[in-house]
Amino acid sequence: MAGMRIEREGPVAVLHLTDGENRFTPDFLDGFEAALDEVEGMADPLAFVLTGEGKFFSNGLDLDAFAGRPSEDLLAYIDDVHAVFARVLALPLPTVAAVNGHAFAGGGMLALCCDHRIMRSDRGYFCLPEVDLGVTFAPGMLALIQATLPTPTAREAMHTGRRYTAEEAVAAGIAHVALPEAEVLPAAVVVAAERAGKGRGVLGGLKEQTFADALAVLRGRS
């Protein structure tokens, strides 16, 4: 799995994204799915932490790679992104995003797929910049945002492209905690470890119920 690695810390599987901006290239998406396969194959008790490195958590989709290509290719790519979002959103494990830096567009949405978000306070923004990029949200992405953010925050984030600092993200209900860089990942592991051992069948079922509408759209066609 180029551009990522898994480390086990007690009952917690930590997936480190290590490919710079961690753009969602087709290879990244394949590797991410394989990493989730590996994590789900681990024995209980188990929880999952997702993090990046340096100043980026993830900058999301790699749309430049599809410039000039048939629209069918782009739609298939969006479906693959939606599939990853659906898988993390419904993962039958406690999930924590250790947002170590910028979480833009699809990168921010990936963080929203996790149950709990801890964001770096001294650098990095959460931002849904589509309004400034001149694009609307794919149906699955819209459903995800609406299912995981308070309605006023979802509207502000989508309609203004606001860049939220960690403290602002906590106040807006995007993140749960803001911490200095050195504390983000250790705190995420602690939170995840405290939640490890939940029954996968029950937790997975509860997530399917909680996010039923969003998951139905994410698992459909873009």
pLDDT 10s digits, 20-66:
999 999 999 999 999 999 999 999 999 999 999 999 999 999 988 88
Backbone angles phi, psi at 67, to 5 degrees: -65, 130
SS3 129: coil
CA separation for the pair 28, 58 (Å, rounded): 11
> What residues form DSSP beta bridges with 177?
118
What percentage of the chain has pLDDT greater than the value 70? 99
SS3 179: strand
The CB-based long-range contact list for 129-134 (8 Å cut-off, 24+ gap) reads 129/104, 129/105, 129/161, 130/105, 130/158, 130/161, 131/158, 131/159, 131/160, 131/161, 132/161, 133/105
Domain count, the chain: 1
8 A C-beta contact, residue 96 and residue 191: yes
Residue-level pLDDT at 71: 87
Residue-level pLDDT at 52: 98
| Structural domain that includes position 41 | 4-218
> Mind giving me the DSSP string for 69-121?
S-HHHHHHHHHHHHHHHHHHHT-SS-EEEEE-SEEETHHHHHHHTSSEEEEES
What token pair was written down for 32?
């991410």
SS3 57: strand
pLDDT 10s digits, 97-118:
999 999 999 999 999 999 999 9
Angle at 87 between CA 81 and CA 88, to 5 degrees: 95
pTM of the model: 0.96
8 A C-beta contact, residue 214 and residue 100: no
The CATH number for 23's domain is 3.90.226.10
Residue-level pLDDT at 221: 63
